[in-house]
Amino acid sequence: MVSPDRELQFALDTRRENSLYRQRKILQSAQGAQVQVDGQACIGFSSNDYLGLANHPVLIAAFQDATNKYGVGSGASHLVSGHSAIHQALEQELAEFTGRPRALLFSTGYMANVGTIRALSDSGDLIVQDQLNHASLLDGGFLSRAEFQRYPHQDLPTADQILSTSTSTSTSTKRKLLVTDGVFSMDGDLADRPALADIADRHDAWLMVDDAHGFGVLGANGRGIAEHFDMSVEQVPVLIGTLGKAFGTFGAFVAGSDALIETLIQFGRTYIYTTALPPAVAAATRVALTLVDSESWRRQKLHHLIAHFQAGARQLDIPVLESVTPIQPVLIRDDEKVMGISEYLLDKSFWVGAIRPPTVPRGSARLRIALNAEHDESDIDRLLDTLATAVRECR
Ligand SMILES: *Cc1c(COP(=O)(O)O)cnc(C)c1O
């Protein structure tokens, strides 16, 4: 018999030979514009903490206060004994924030997506998703008992066609879920929500939008893509948000009608069978929600930096994709080359994530530059100059 380790080693070696091996870098500071990585001080361009709230003193104070009162652990799942007054208050505030009747906290976005799709679908139902949706949405489709189909990225005619074909062959009771990222996490582009809502409406499908990267960032008040496109709970009945990105903390939520939230409390397995978030995390998130309003300069500065980056990259012929979000992908395509460029950048004290397959499609390896409100124009100018050299020199 081949030993388990030898068998595993074979797949690991193959991944290494294909330049797809992943290694963790060790962060030795808080998130922010300036970070310490593997013993080196650098400017961080690889965090989803877009508004710079993860290390905000007011969030830290709220976290500490809540820890003094509630301790560290929540002790149980929400349905057993882990649902604290802080969780309850945050859920109400998230409902107000999103303009939905109710909201429900989940421990992670991954779990919110898998659990929601599973709770809303059964065998005989149909789930239709964009091929570039976040892995947690796709996994939700794979783990459900429903039929699961994907359409090419942003190819709405195909989405429409999949939904209409299924209509003609099925009974009228079959439920259909049309699922999309709001902001695509590796491309930074926005889903065409109004068009998707039209398609959903035409086929009696429910539109589910995961706005992990839109909350706090998009819309005049940071209410995310629903505010950006002014879309009601009728148009987007299932809205997902995460708290570990622009809100700077951890966790996730689903927002929608009372019936939707009660359904998830009763039938959402990833909601029911897991420990509630620590109350202190919820306390810090409550403060983050207020800062999205009171420190709106963060969002305004971020959008200024985004425009500055796009203009500068174009001037220097850097192959940046068009994006109005803090996710700024630079398409390098080659897996080995993207690693070479990211190492070159790190050597010059810029920490930029290199994203390779299977996280992105084959042949579309890229740098994923993430901007944040703590950056300055000069940070971006220096990154762009170094990047232009790196793209020219690394082969
Ligand atoms: C990050 C992300 C998630 C996962 O959220 P976690 O809270 O980190 O588990 C889900 N969907 C999208 C689009 C994301 O970018």
- pLDDT tens string 301-340: 999 999 999 999 999 999 999 999 999 999 999 999 999 9
Most informative mutation of 242, 247, 285, 327 for ligand 1 (most atoms within 8 A of CB) = 242
CA 395 – ligand 1 centroid, Å:
33
pLDDT bucket at 353, cuts 50 / 70 / 90: very high
Catalytic annotation, residues? 185, 213, 245
Q: Which residue has the tokens 């926005």?
A: 190
What's the whole-model pTM score? 0.95
Q: pLDDT over 70 for what percent of the chain?
A: 98
Most informative mutation of 46, 132, 136 for ligand 1 (most atoms within 8 A of CB) = 136
- Residue pair 12/20 in contact (Cβ under 8 Å)? The answer is no
Q: Does domain 57-293 have CATH number 3.40.640.10?
A: yes
CA 110 – ligand 1 centroid, Å:
6
CA-nearest residue, atom 14 of ligand 1: 212
Domain with CATH 3.90.1150.10 in the chain: 24-51+296-393
Q: 168 pLDDT exceeds 80?
A: no
Residues enclosing ligand 1, CB less than 6 A?
Answer: 108-110, 113, 134, 136, 181, 185, 210, 212-213, 242, 244, 252
Residues 6+ apart with CB under 8 A from 131: 150, 151, 152, 153
CA 94 – ligand 1 centroid, Å:
17
99: number of Cβ within 10 Å: 14
Task: Tell me the CATH architecture of domain 24-51+296-393.
Answer: Alpha-Beta Complex (3.90)
CA 295 – ligand 1 centroid, Å:
24
- Residue pair 237/257 in contact (Cβ under 8 Å)? The answer is yes
CA dihedral 104, 109, 111, 112 (to 10 degrees): 40
pLDDT at res. 165: 85
pLDDT at res. 19: 87
pLDDT at res. 97: 97
Q: What is the mean pLDDT of the chain?
A: 95
Atom in ligand 1 nearest the alpha carbon of residue 182: 13
CA 124 – ligand 1 centroid, Å:
28
Domain with CATH 3.40.640.10 in the chain: 57-293
For residue range 265-300, what is the model confidence (pLDDT) as tens digits? Answer: 999 999 999 999 999 999 999 999 999 999 999 999
CA-nearest residue, atom 4 of ligand 1: 109
Q: 33 pLDDT exceeds 60?
A: yes
Give the count of alpha carbons within 13 A of 250, CB side only. Answer: 9
**Residue by residue, what is the 3-state secondary structure of the chain?**
CCCHHHHHHHHHHHHHHCCCCCCCCCECCCCCCEEEECCEEEEECCCCCCCCCCCCHHHHHHHHHHHHHHCCCCCCCHHHHHCCHHHHHHHHHHHHHHCCCEEEEECCHHHHHHHHHHHHCCCCCEEEEECCCCHHHHHHHHHCCCEEEEECCCCHHHHHHHHHHHHHHCCCCCCEEEEEECECCCCCCECCHHHHHHHHHHCCCEEEEECCCCCCCCCCCCCCHHHHCCCCCCCCCEEEEECCCCCCCCCEEEEECHHHHHHHHHHCHHHHCCCCCCHHHHHHHHHHHHHHHHCCHHHHHHHHHHHHHHHHHHHCCCCECCCCCCEEEEEEECHHHHHHHHHHHHHCCEECEEECCCCCCCCCEEEEEECCCCCCHHHHHHHHHHHHHHHHHCC
For residue range 101-151, what is the model confidence (pLDDT) as tens digits? Answer: 999 999 999 999 999 999 999 999 999 999 999 999 999 999 999 999 999
For residue range 200-239, what is the model confidence (pLDDT) as tens digits? Answer: 999 999 999 999 999 999 999 999 999 999 999 999 999 9
Q: 170 pLDDT exceeds 80?
A: no
Atom in ligand 1 nearest the alpha carbon of residue 243: 7
For residue range 130-143, what is the model confidence (pLDDT) as tens digits? Answer: 999 999 999 999 99
